[in-house]
Amino acid sequence: MPDALKLLTTRRSFKPIELSGPGPSAAEIDTLLTVASRVPDHGKLVPWRFIVFEGEARRAAGAAIAAAFRAKHPEATAEQAEAERERLTRAPLVIAVVSRAAPHVKIPEWEQVLSAGAAAMNLVLAANALGYGASWITEWYAYDRAVLDALGLRPHERIAGFVHIGRPPGVPEDRPRPPLAEIATRFPQ
């Protein structure tokens, strides 16, 4: 396991298609979900939940994605629909992070949404700490009502991300990062 600071300063995302099997074991998935749920959460509302897609279930969910795609694009070719069906099979494991943020008497909804983002990032970091690569994506189907219904999301729930997890192809190159001088100031300026 890389040490924490090294992981945090070198981690990169991979494309879902680059993440191969075998994916995490059942025990490792428990670890991933445990770490993902260990995040700051104002009011202890647990304003997020997770949906695990593994094996054949990935293609079953893909069928709903393909059906929604066809409904939106009746002119789509069979090939295009098939590519949509395979959306969740690119990596061996996909975990959807679902935001359950809702109006609350004391806790702003914004803070609940941020907690879901933290859960998604913890999930990404936990996957990397276990030696896997990860990709936090949403893509169009995260915003499609028919797909969300098929995945069992209630009307107020939203997808924070579909985190794809699998074995990375190697060590990735870094991408440019914003210079600290451009994003951090000391008060007063």
Ligand X SMILES: Cc1cc2nc3c(=O)[nH]c(=O)nc-3n(C[C@H](O)[C@H](O)[C@H](O)COP(=O)(O)O)c2cc1C
In the complex, the residues that contact ligand X under the rule CB under 6 A are 12-13, 136-139, 161, 175
Extended beta strands in 43-182, E state: 48-54, 93-99, 133-137, 158-166
CA end-to-end span of the chain: 41
Cβ distance to ligand X smaller for residue 25 or 138 = 138
Residue 117 makes CB contacts below 8 A (sequence gap 6+) with 160
Q: How far is the CB of 112 from ligand X (least distance, A)?
A: 15
Extended beta strands in the chain, E state: 48-54, 93-99, 133-137, 158-166
Cβ distance to ligand X smaller for residue 66 or 96 = 96
Q: How far is the CB of 26 from ligand X (least distance, A)?
A: 26
Q: How far is the CB of 12 from ligand X (least distance, A)?
A: 4
Q: How far is the CB of 135 from ligand X (least distance, A)?
A: 6
Cβ distance to ligand X smaller for residue 23 or 161 = 161
Cα(152)–Cα(174) distance, integer angstroms: 37
Cβ distance to ligand X smaller for residue 6 or 175 = 175
